[in-house]
Each structure stands twice: as structure tokens, then as C-alpha cells.
Structure 1
Amino acid sequence: MAAARPELSLSLQFADPAHRAELPRHKVRRWIRAALEELPAEITVRIVGEEEGRSLNREFRGKDYATNVLTFDYAHEPVVAADLVLCAPVVAREAAEMKLPLADHYAHLLVHGTLHAQGFDHEQDDEAEVMEARETEILLGLGLHDPYAKD
């Protein structure tokens, strides 16, 4: 018998509506739930433009550029609480560079951000291996690409 999936309270916000069609709520929910380990979660996903993405990255990480995904994790237990902020123009550029469908790249970044929200990290080599292996397992389970495969 399959394990019960954790509860997920999801808020999906589009400050930049360019990719709304690529991110139907049921798919976003599926991708995030696939990455949730055991605990229930309250996650807000916000799709932003370049200016907001850059501003948030500068303010919270001290890096003056827009990045693909920012994870603001507020609690790991008893409920995972986090905001995932994805910068639509950056995600689109990266997907095009990697020759991936846009939705597939969003799926990867949502899985990546959800793992961060649960305390996974990739700043240390040993932690990066664990996180990358988990990401690969989840994405392959969703029928998507392995983002870390060597071509």
C-alpha cells in the first residue's frame, strides 16, 4: 500500500502572468507534493518578473541579479512553511538554453525549492550530492529529465 501523501495548502500567485498557461494549479500541486517528504506543507508559489526577482535576490542574498528560484523557508516542522519565488524571464531563458520544455524546467525548480523548504541544501559537497540525488529521483518519478545527467 502506498504511503499517504502529506497535506498541501498551496497559494499560486502570478505577478508575471506570462507563463500562467504552463503552470496549471494541478500540475504545480503534483510537482510540489512529489518533493514533500512526510510533513504537511503550506507553500506559496509566486511567479515574478525580472525586476522583482532581482530586488528580492539583492535584498535577501546580497546578489544583484535575478535568479531562477528563491526559497524562503519559515518552518520545517510540524508544518513545512515556505514561499517559492520563481523569476519567469530567467526560467524561460534557462529552459531555452537547455532545450527543455518550459513546464519541465518549472517542475525541476519547484522540486528544488520544495526540497530547500524542507532543509535540503547544496552549499556543501556532501549535502549537494544528497539533494541532487533526491531531485533526480523525484523528477524521474514524474517522468521528467535528470537535471544532473552528464550528456
Structure 2
Amino acid sequence: MLTDTIYEDDRWEQADLEALAETAARATLTHLGLDPEGFEIALLACDDARIAELNADFRDKPTPTNVLSWPSEERGAEEDGDTPELPEGSDGVFAEEDGDTPELPEGSDGVFAEELGDIAIAWETCAREAEEAGKPLAHHLTHLIIHATLHLLGYDHIRDKDATLMEGIETEILGKMGIPDPYSEHSAD
């Protein structure tokens, strides 16, 4: 599986987060021409209290947020609006520097995925945002996982042109999935 989900809050299981995250992350990588089989993302399904701790620790913002992401490596574009340097992807086979294949654990097929990074997502904030926007929770969660996956790949929205690029990609991916544009004023997922 592309995503490895850790549940700290059982409410996430009712939202079928694991399946939604897998589908959203796969759609994102595929849209960008990357083979999802070559990558792995760790996903923490938590509550507002836990994400507020993480937000305080990593961003000096001691408040809940919907989603946070930590890329395994810095890939951001230098110029505003440029595409980040995307990973080439794992070739799927692990070998040591001398070319020898190491002893693998029993039951292993020798295939290893490149870790893109970690995502944390908060139940209360996501559920509240979806309700306030009149969107199905599944649509909102799919958008947030796509958004976070793009962050893991080096996309950002701090600079104007970067935001336009990132939002455009999110909208294209969501459109392919039959989910309305979340940035449209009149969007009602």
C-alpha cells in the first residue's frame, strides 16, 4: 500500500480514511506521472488536541489545523510558480552500494518504496470544515490528502504563483475523481 495509516482517533475509521487516503495519494502521484508503487506515505489520523501539539512543535502555532505534512526531503521550486523537482521514484528493488542484494527478511519480496514523508490529519477540524462548507466529508478529506501529498512533493502555496499552480493541480485531480473545485466560490461538493 502507498499509505500507512496510524489511528490515534477511532472516529477516523467511520470515514474510511485509509481507503480515501490511498485513492487520493495514488491519484496525485499518477497525475504527476509518478508510479505510486514506488512510494510510501505515513498518515497519522488524530484529533484536534494532537494536531495542535504538532502545530505548536513544528510551526509555533499552538492551534488545531486540518492537515500537516512533513516531506522526507526538500523539493520546493526556487522560482515562484515553477514546478518542484519531483522524485524519480524508487526502482522498487533495494541493493547495497556494491550492487549486492542484502539478506532480506523472511517473506520480503525485495521491493522497497521511497518514503515521501508524513501527514497528520485532525478529525474535529476536518469534520467541522466539511459541515460548514456543505461538502461531503469524503470530498473534503480527499482534497486535503491531495493537498498534503503535493506538499510532500515540494508544492507550496506561500507565494502567489506557487499557490495558483498548486490549486490548479488539486482542482484537476479532483475533477478527474468527480469532485467539484473546492476553490470555486459556489462549490458545493
TM over 0.5: yes
Superposed CA deviations along residues 58-97 of structure 1, whole A, max 9, x for unmatched, are 1101111010000011135343521110011100110010
Q: Is the 8 A contact 1:68 1:87 kept in 2?
A: yes
User: Cα–Cα, structure 1 residues 24 and 66, in superposed 2: closer, same or farther, change >3 Å?
Assistant: closer
Q: Rg bigger for which structure?
A: 2
* 2:42 maps to which of 44, 53, 58: 44
Aligned residues: CA RMSD: 1.5
Question: How do 1:92-111 and structure 2 match up within 5 A?
Answer: 92-111=127-146
* 1:134 maps to which of 166, 169, 178: 169
Measured in 2, the distance between the counterparts of 1:69 and 1:26 equals 17
Which residues of structure 1 form unaligned runs of 5+? 1-7
Q: Is the 8 A contact 1:80 1:117 kept in 2?
A: no
Q: Is the 8 A contact 1:95 1:102 kept in 2?
A: yes
Question: Partner letter of residue 66 of structure 2?
Answer: N
Q: Is the 8 A contact 1:53 1:87 kept in 2?
A: yes
Give the stretch that moved more between structures: 68-77 or 52-61: 68-77
Q: Which residue in the other structure is 1:5 paired with?
A: none
Q: Which residue in the other structure is 1:148 paired with?
A: 183
Q: Is the 8 A contact 1:69 1:109 kept in 2?
A: yes
Aligned partner of residue 146 in structure 1, secondary structure: coil
- Whether 2:69 is the aligned partner of 1:71: answer yes
Q: Is the 8 A contact 1:80 1:118 kept in 2?
A: no
**1 or 2, which has the higher strand percentage?**
1
Superposed CA deviations along residues 18-74 of structure 1, whole A, max 9, x for unmatched, are 121212533321111111121532101111111111000011011110100000111
The percentage of aligned residue pairs carrying the same residue is 33
TM-score by length of 2: 0.72
Q: Is the 8 A contact 2:2 2:26 kept in 1?
A: no
Q: Is the 8 A contact 2:66 2:125 kept in 1?
A: yes
Q: Which residue in the other structure is 1:19 paired with?
A: 12
